[in-house]
Amino acid sequence: MKGASLEILKHNHLSVTESRKKILDLFLANIGALAHADIEKNTGEQFDRVTIYRTLQTFVDKGIIHTIPTADNSVLYALCKDECEQGHHHDNHIHFICDACNITICIDHITIPELKLPKGFAPKRRDVVVSGICNRCN
Amino acid sequence: MKGASLEILKHNHLSVTESRKKILDLFLANIGALAHADIEKNTGEQFDRVTIYRTLQTFVDKGIIHTIPTADNSVLYALCKDECEQGHHHDNHIHFICDACNITICIDHITIPELKLPKGFAPKRRDVVVSGICNRCN
DNA sequence: AAATTTTTGCAACAAAATTGCAATTATTAT
DNA sequence: ATAATAATTGCAATTTTGTTGCAAAAATTT
Binary contact (B132, A124; C-beta < 8 A): yes
pLDDT of residue B82: 56
**pLDDT tens profile B60-72:** 999 999 998 887 7
Radius of gyration of chain B (CA): 16
More confident residue, B107 or B55: B55
Residues of chain A below pLDDT 50: 86-87
**pLDDT tens profile B14-54:** 999 999 999 999 999 988 899 999 999 999 889 999 999 99
Binary contact (A135, B127; C-beta < 8 A): no
**Residues of chain A found within 8 Å of residue B124, distances taken between Cβ atoms:** 99, 130-133
| Probe site for chain B from A57, A91, A121 (most B CB atoms < 10 A) | A121
Q: How far is B43 from chain A (nearest CA, A)?
A: 24
pLDDT of residue A71: 74
pLDDT of residue A90: 59
pLDDT of residue B48: 96
Q: Which residue is nearest to nucleotide C24 (CA to C1')?
A: A17
Domains annotated on chain B, with CATH: 4-132 (1.10.10.10)
More confident residue, A100 or B73: A100
**pLDDT tens profile B81-95:** 755 555 555 556 789
pLDDT of residue A115: 84
HEC readout, chain B: CCCHHHHHHHHCCCCCCHHHHHHHHHHHHCCCCEEHHHHHHHCCCCCCHHHHHHHHHHHHHHCCEEEECCCCCCCEEEECCCCCECCECCCEEEEEEECCCCCEEEECCCCCCCCCCCCCCEEEEEEEEEEEECCCCC
The 10 Å Cβ neighbour count of residue B135 is 14
**Residues of chain B found within 8 Å of residue A128, distances taken between Cβ atoms:** 115, 126-129
Judge whether A136 and A96 are in contact, CB under 8 Å: no
**Residues of chain A found within 8 Å of residue B110, distances taken between Cβ atoms:** 115-118
Residue B5 has pLDDT above 60, yes or no: yes
**Average pLDDT for chain B:** 87
